[in-house]
Amino acid sequence: MRIVLGVAGGIAAYKACELASRLTKDGHDVSVLMTRTATEFVSPLTFRALTGRAVAVTIGEEPFGPLSHVHLAHWADAMVIAPATADLLARLAAGRADDMLSAVYLGFQGPRLIAPAMEPEMWAHPRTQANVAVLQQDGVRFIGPMAGRMASGHYGVGRLAEPETIQDALVDLTTPKDLAGLRMLITAGSTWEYFDPVRVITNPATGLMGKLLAGQAVRRGAEVAVVAGPGVTPLTERTGLVWDTVVSAEEMLARALVRLPGMHVVVGTAAVSDFRPAKRAEQKVHKAAVGLSWPVEPNPDVIRTLAEQADPGTLMIGFAAETDNIIESAQRKRVDKKLDAVVANRVGLGVGFGTGAHEAWLVTADGVEPMPGHHKEETATALLNWVARHRPPA
């Protein structure tokens, strides 16, 4: 993606360096535009080193030429301004075009994100808020400012959002909302089956795949409910996402059944324990007391039960982690549990559980399709692309 990064004056300008670096490392082509005051805080040479592109301050300067503001406005796919000062917000709201940044802003027609930074009193001033309202009416998305300690030593709302937060907001802004209107239930992680207060039956699943699917699905417009095992760190709170943490397979099924009504898509990424102890000791069991055996009993089949009780037409997707006979096992699971698709993934040393590496195939009634890439994030994207193509009526 081609991104224009606008940088206004203020001590927070130094954080724009990290943002430029992050965007560039993610493979984006970044062109930085600075106000004259911004160059007093950070050298344009710093941004040139980080992005590999020349930095513009005034209209017509070399090597850009007199129509450079027109070219950049048509060149960019997205525009982000971080930090934006109170002065810059006023000039943008008034339609001024007296430097490179404001001129490109005025001519740019794509998605725009602004991250303000200023003293709390300046941010709270009615004129600043009126300028923000004008820009929002023009379709500009704002991120921040945040509460905290300012460079002046004062505390309040006025700090620039962190570069990672701005980057996430930009991704949200520019991601197509092809899953809008869909409600999705995702199970994630492993379950823990206690046989005494200090020992459990479990597996190495981390819940990474479920988290990646949930994060991407929300960005693409879906409403997502996640039911995750106890070892999974929840995603940060965001609109369109609800998160439940459970411990055992029985708890996961019970909570998922509460969330199930009205769901359009169910994705069972959780590695649910097949067995649980037939009895649970209330105190720690010592080796001498039990020897080497402990009776177990089967757990409920979470994805099978959800498929049986889901609304008609719900798109049901399971996961099958296998070491051998991967495709054959996934096909049997798809048919036996009445699923629409199964993601068959290989697990072993360095791939699958506990790693980002992934080797997977999408198994459906139409056949077997290798999933692109070798990372779980790519698998998540490919699976949601398939969901978008096969989405049930919302």
**Is 337 annotated to bind ligand?**
yes
On whether the CB atoms of residues 317 and 266 are closer than 8 A, the answer is yes
**Is 279 annotated to bind ligand?**
no
pLDDT for the residue numbered 324: 78
Instruction: Cite the active site residues.
Output: 203
**Is 166 annotated to bind ligand?**
no
pLDDT for the residue numbered 69: 77
Three-state DSSP class for residue 233: coil
pLDDT for the residue numbered 277: 82
In order of start, what are the domains of the chain with their CATH numbers?
2-174 (3.40.50.1950), 183-389 (3.40.50.10300)
On whether the CB atoms of residues 145 and 158 are closer than 8 A, the answer is yes
Which positions of the chain have pLDDT values less than 70?
60-67, 287-292, 348-358, 394
pLDDT for the residue numbered 289: 64
pLDDT for the residue numbered 380: 92
pLDDT for the residue numbered 196: 77
**Is 211 annotated to bind ligand?**
no
Q: What is the DSSP annotation of 16-76? A: HHHHHHHHHHTT-EEEEEE-TTGGGTS-HHHHHHHHSS--B-STT-TTT-TTHHHHHHHH-
**Is 298 annotated to bind ligand?**
no
pLDDT for the residue numbered 182: 95
pLDDT for the residue numbered 157: 92
